[in-house]
Homo-oligomer: A and B are copies of this chain.
């Protein structure tokens, strides 16, 4: 951390955008593993995937703490402190929910997941990549405003799609599954994916706020 007196008054764009991009990359990596994890039916492999996602989740946690420490020691920030704070928290949420999902797959020794799990995981993966692009785009906010706006709109659409898929899954689950234990376990696992998609939409909302203020 550069704490020298003058550094405090230097433009801080590169640092914060770099850290936030790192956080976005972390959730993109976690979401990539998640796609493989939900397709897989081997418990031993699920344990391995959950461990890999956990590694990313810890890396994200560390970067989050760095962001907070930098916010506390930096006089001039490229955007409102609150927006940086919220964006970092929300990016962390995405990875956290993916981590919770993987953990639950392991805890419940859930071998088979419905097809909708893969569909949602793939949507989350592509949304996560778009977030990396949008967050990185904040380095030249005026130049990239149009593209970032489009990404935020796409993130919103993806969340709507996930919502529909999740609701149809729930509806079918209660209509067709007779094993109530299975209902509880699947509902609980899928809920984490749906939460990750929600967090992704929130990331989009915060980025949009920044664009409105600074583009």
Bound complex: CA A171 to CA B50 (Å): 15
How many of chain A's residues have a CB under 8 angstroms from any CB in B? 21
* One of B68, B170, B181 near A180 (C-beta < 8 A): B181
Q: Is A174 an interface residue (CB 8 A)?
A: yes
Residues 151-183 of chain A, each 1 if its beta carbon lies under 8 Å from chain B, else 0 = 000000000000000010011001100001101
Beta-carbon contact of B183 and A184 below 8 Å: yes
Q: Is A185 an interface residue (CB 8 A)?
A: yes
CB distance from A183 to the nearest CB of B (A): 7
Which residues of B have CB within 8 Å of A174?
107-108, 181, 184-185
Q: Is A209 an interface residue (CB 8 A)?
A: yes
Q: Is A150 an interface residue (CB 8 A)?
A: no
CB distance from A194 to the nearest CB of B (A): 12
CB distance from A63 to the nearest CB of B (A): 15
Which residues of B have CB within 8 Å of A180?
180-181, 184
Copies in the assembly, this chain: 3
Q: Is A109 an interface residue (CB 8 A)?
A: yes
Which residues of B have CB within 8 Å of A69?
212
Which residues of B have CB within 8 Å of A108?
170-171, 174
**A210 to B, closest residue via Cβ:** B72
Bound complex: CA A26 to CA B109 (Å): 39
Beta-carbon contact of A213 and B171 below 8 Å: no
Which residues of B have CB within 8 Å of A171?
107-109
Q: Is A136 an interface residue (CB 8 A)?
A: no
24 A-B pairs with C-beta separation under 8 A: A68-B209, A69-B212, A72-B209, A72-B212, A72-B213, A103-B167, A107-B167, A107-B170, A107-B171, A108-B170, A108-B171, A108-B174, A109-B171, A109-B175, A174-B181, A174-B184, A174-B185, A180-B180, A180-B181, A180-B184, A181-B183, A183-B184, A184-B184, A184-B187
